[in-house]
C-alpha cells in the first residue's frame, strides 16, 4: 500500500469554548473515496475545511503529501504556516461547496479558466480547451457564456465541480454539495460525482447526507459523532456489522 496522501494526527478544533473535534486520526490514501457521515454539528464539515485551509486546527497535525499543512520549519523550529507555505501545500486540493460559491461576475467558462491561468500560470488556449472539455463532461457545454445567475442550482453545482476539476486536484473535497438543492436537482449532481469517482483517480472526501449514495461509491466510511471518529471501515463493515448504538440509531433515522 502506498503512503497516505493525507494524514490527520490527533487534530483538535474548538470554536470559542465549544470543542468541535476532539482528536481526529485519519489516513486517506491516493484515489481513495471517503464518505464522512454523522449527525449535524458533529464536525464533519470542519474536517474538510481544515484540510482546505479555511479553518486552522487548534492542535494536532495535518500532513498532505508528506508535508505538514499548518506548520512549517523556520530555523529548526516548527512555526505557524504563512500564506506561501499554505499555497504550496494546498495546491493539490480542490473543494466544492454547499452553496456553490461561483463567481457571479464571470461567465461559467471564465469561472473555470481564472484559477489555472492566474494560479498555475498555464496558457489561455490550453486552459480554455480543458475548461470546455470539463464543462461538456458535466453537461454544460452549451452554457459557456452564461452567467451563474442564469443557471439552476444543479447546474451551478456542476459548474463548481468543473471549476475544481480543471485545476487537476489530487484530492477533492465535497461539502454537502446537494444540501442546498431542490430535490429534483440532486440526481444530476450525484451523477457527476459518480462519474468522477469512477473515472478519475483522485482521492475524494464526501461530507454528505445522501447516505445510500455515499455508501455506494465510498471505499471507506467514517461515522463522526461528538467530535471523534466513532466508527470507520468499508461501507458494509460500518453499516451492516457495526455494533455502535448511536450509529445504528443515526442510520435508522435515515432509513425510515
| Chain positions contacting other proteins, by CB under 8 A | 52-54, 83, 87, 90-91, 93-95, 97, 99, 101-105, 114-115, 118-119, 147, 149, 160, 163-164, 167
Whole-number minimum distance, CB 223 to other proteins, in Å?
Answer: 26
Supply 33's cell numbers: 473515496
Using only the alpha carbons of the chain, give its radius of gyration: 19
> Which lies closer to other proteins via its Cβ, residue 97 or residue 213?
97
Helix (H, G, I), strand (E, B) or coil at 23: strand
Question: How far is the CA of 142 from the CAs of 134, 162, 166, 184, in angstroms?
Answer: 12, 14, 18, 21
Whole-number minimum distance, CB 103 to other proteins, in Å?
Answer: 6
CA-closest candidate to residue 224, choices 63, 68, 34: 34
> Which lies closer to other proteins via its Cβ, residue 43 or residue 94?
94
Supply 252's cell numbers: 435508522
Whole-number minimum distance, CB 252 to other proteins, in Å?
Answer: 34
* Distance, CA of 101 to CA of 91 (rounded, Å): 19
Whole-number minimum distance, CB 102 to other proteins, in Å?
Answer: 7
> Which lies closer to other proteins via its Cβ, residue 196 or residue 251?
196
> Which lies closer to other proteins via its Cβ, residue 164 or residue 196?
164
Amino acid at each position: 500500500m502506498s503512503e497516505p496522501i493525507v494524514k490527520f494526527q490527533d487534530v483538535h478544533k474548538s470554536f470559542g469554548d465549544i470543542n468541535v473535534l476532539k482528536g481526529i486520526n485519519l489516513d486517506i490514501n491516493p484515489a481513495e473515496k471517503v464518505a464522512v457521515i454523522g449527525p449535524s454539528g458533529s464536525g464533519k464539515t470542519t474536517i474538510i475545511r481544515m484540510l482546505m485551509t479555511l479553518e486552522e486546527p487548534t492542535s494536532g497535525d495535518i500532513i498532505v503529501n508528506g508535508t505538514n499543512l499548518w506548520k512549517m520549519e523556520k530555523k529548526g523550529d516548527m512555526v505557524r504556516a504563512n500564506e506561501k507555505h499554505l499555497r504550496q501545500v494546498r495546491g493539490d486540493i480542490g473543494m466544492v461547496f454547499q452553496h456553490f460559491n461561483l463567481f457571479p461576475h464571470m461567465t461559467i467558462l471564465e469561472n473555470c479558466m481564472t484559477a489555472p491561468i492566474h494560479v498555475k500560470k498555464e496558457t489561455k488556449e490550453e486552459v480554455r480547451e480543458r475548461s470546455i472539455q470539463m464543462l461538456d463532461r458535466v453537461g454544460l457545454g452549451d452554457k459557456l457564456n452564461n452567467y451563474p445567475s442564469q443557471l439552476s442550482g444543479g447546474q451551478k453545482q456542476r459548474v463548481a465541480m468543473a471549476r475544481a476539476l480543471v485545476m487537476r486536484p489530487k484530492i477533492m473535497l465535497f461539502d454537502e454539495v446537494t444540501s442546498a438543492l431542490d430535490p429534483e436537482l440532486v440526481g444530476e449532481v450525484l451523477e457527476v460525482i459518480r462519474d468522477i469517482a469512477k473515472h478519475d483517480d483522485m482521492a475524494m472526501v464526501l461530507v454528505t447526507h445522501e447516505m445510500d449514495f455515499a455508501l455506494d461509491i465510498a471505499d471507506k466510511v467514517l461515522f463522526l459523532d461528538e467530535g471523534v471518529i466513532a466508527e470507520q471501515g468499508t461501507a458494509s463493515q460500518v453499516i451492516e456489522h457495526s455494533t455502535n448504538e448511536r450509529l445504528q440509531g443515526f442510520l435508522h433515522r435515515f432509513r425510515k
